[in-house]
Amino acid sequence: MTISKDRVKPSRKPDQWKLKEVFATGVVMGTYLALVTVLFYWAVTRTTFFETHFKVRSIKKDAEKISSAMYLQVSIISQVLIFVTRSRGLSFLDRPGALLICAFIAAQLVATLVAVYATIGFASISSIGWGWAGVIWLYSLVFYVPLDFIKITVHYILSGKAWNLLFDRKTAFTRKRDFGKEDREAKWALSQRDVQPRAFSDHLLSSTMPSSRMADQAKRRAEITRLGERHALRAHVESVMRLKRVDSHIIRSAQSV
């Protein structure tokens, strides 16, 4: 509910639902989070990594303590994901709203207190203490950092820019010097010459023609532009009238108008 009061930046252009990006990002991030949880379970039950480096007591033989540790780890890493998905860039550079931060802190404070102190028989959980809670928080924050780069990578791949660079420009497979830099510069210069021929011709005319001839040229270009707009409007009116199945004499009267 606090997401509706979040502090966000509006899009600079009309936006739309990007379901392909949403599904792809969800699948990739979900897979990553599942692997992170499996790695944590393996490290707790099969190794002594945390006991050796953080001097915590072993819980690998206590299933209820393992359940508490897994509960806290899943709770932290899954809820911290909201800060990644709410921003287009790096999440730690985009400050979230105060209500969202308060809701996250409150939820994770309750989850941490449950894991540290609660011993509930029917839920098969047992207290793990503040040492393991600190280790789990550190573990979750370390694996939180790559989520931003995974999100940006998926967005870049789905935008098509990566495939254009790889296949259309063929930059990765070229044997040319500087990866074909000279060819790209030549194509850019050619495109600039094609994009701005009118500016070039105007500059040339202004330097060689008298003012009266320049005025005639400008008037002629304005007339050509007006005629083009007129023909475009006429074609649009005809297409609309035909779609609405209007008689031909009404079309002619509309053209005269």
In sequence order, the 6+-apart residues with CB closer than 8 A to the CB of 156 are 162
Q: Cβ distance 257 to 245 under 8 Å?
A: no
Mean pLDDT, the chain, whole residue set: 79
Q: Domain residues of the chain, as ranges?
A: 17-159, 196-256
pLDDT digits (tens, 9 = 90+) for 162-200: 555 555 555 444 555 555 566 666 666 666 655 555 555
Q: What is the domain class of 17-159 according to CATH?
A: mainly alpha
Helix axes 129-158, 63-79, angle to 10 degrees: 40
Is-above-0.75 flag for pTM? no
